[in-house]
Amino acid sequence: MRERTEQAIELMTRFAERTGLTSERLQQRYLWTDAFAVCTFLGLGHAMGASHNTELALRLVRRVHEVLGHHRSDDRRTGWISSLSEEEGEAHPTRGGLRIGKPLPERTPGEPIDERLEWDRDGQYFHYLTKWMHALDQVTRWTGQTMFSAWARELAYAAHRAFTYAPSGGSRKAMYWKLSIDLSRPLVASMGQHDPLDGLVTCMQLEATAPSEPSLARAIADFAAMVDPRRLATADPLGLGGLLVDAYRVLQLENQGAGDQGLVEALLAATAVGIRQYVEQSELRLPAARRLAFREIGLAIGLGVLERDAWQAARASVRAGVARLSSYVPLRAEIEAFWLRPEHRRVDRWLEHENINDVMLATSLQPEGFVTIPSSRAN
């Protein structure tokens, strides 16, 4: 365990220096990566009893809000993307959502979509926003500072209002996958496979932390109605890891008197279907230059939760679901060992995504701040 913690610290130290968190370099803020980083710093602070890492988590939250809560430097618009004044924006930095942090400006109104370019264009992703909600809520749960959970609730309320819509014809609500920076128009109108699930689990967590205004009851109901257990299976390793982490989050919420009975079983069953397909694809036998590390590491993070003691006290149907997945647990060590080899982290494919790869590998090595939901310390 000590070696794993030291390896995680080394990865996070390089990330913090490289992205301007602990140096004078230009800020390189990216919402997904920074959400994992906040949680990992929290976990390292707890593991080492070192306030330095907790302070880095808090500093990173401030930097993300300063950068991704404001319009881009190459945008004609200025100030907070919420249109609040500077003073109001500082008090409510998530009220207008947060930019992704992609390198290219968002697609302009009327500009035809280029699917290849869209991956590098800015905007807002719902599943990135839910990761940031989780990170903010974890700050509250780990430190007892309620302001962060309040910001997470404001972000959840704004995201639900902007990303969900009622299609014509009276069918149930749906979601956009990607919206413009100001949340005024869809950039990708299709719905992400796990977006409603992310919204449901995260909003349940926020309600369990400190029920207050704005209410998330409608958001929870809408997301729950959109989740179809029959469509949750995926062969994508990052998606599989997300299913497992969500299952563990819901289990912990159930133990704290919240959660959604039956959802844990559905997530474990979907994982069992998808992981079998993923392993059969033999992707893990490819050379490093042909693999996307952060997607595999996402699976490793998820597999790690299966080794936790909380499952042993769960109901029989949950224990059976975990047992069906037990044969895949060794993949975690296999994935970590592969990407801890220095020569595999020198290939172009790793270096192209160095920040997200470093942070997610550190999270897999020291996952406590990301996967463990302490009993709420908010009051």
Contact between residue 324 and residue 268 where contact means Cβ atoms under 8 Å apart? yes
Strand (E) positions, 302-368?
none
Q: Which domain covers residue 104, as residue numbers?
A: 95-109+120-227
Does 200 fall in a domain? yes
Does 188 fall in a domain? yes
Other Cβ atoms closer than 10 A to 105 = 14
Amino acid letter, residue 206: L
- Distance from the Cα of residue 295 to its chain's centroid: 12
Does 141 fall in a domain? yes
Contact between residue 361 and residue 293 where contact means Cβ atoms under 8 Å apart? yes
Q: Tens-of-pLDDT digits for all 379 residues of the chain?
A: 789 999 999 999 999 999 999 999 999 999 999 999 999 999 999 888 768 999 999 999 999 999 999 999 999 999 999 999 999 999 999 999 999 999 999 999 999 999 999 999 999 999 999 999 999 999 999 999 999 999 999 999 999 999 999 988 767 899 999 999 999 999 999 998 899 999 999 999 999 998 888 899 999 999 999 999 999 999 999 999 999 999 999 999 999 998 777 999 999 999 999 999 999 988 899 999 999 999 999 999 999 999 999 999 999 999 999 999 999 999 999 999 999 999 999 999 999 999 999 999 999 999 999 999 998 754 4
Does 126 fall in a domain? yes
* Total number of domains in the chain: 1
| pTM of the complete model | 0.97
Does 336 fall in a domain? no
Does 79 fall in a domain? no
Does 193 fall in a domain? yes
Does 167 fall in a domain? yes
Angle between helix axes 263-280 and 293-305 (nearest 10 degrees) is 140
Entry field: residues in the chain: 379
H/E stretch holding 125 reads: strand 124-125
The three-state secondary structure class of 346 is coil
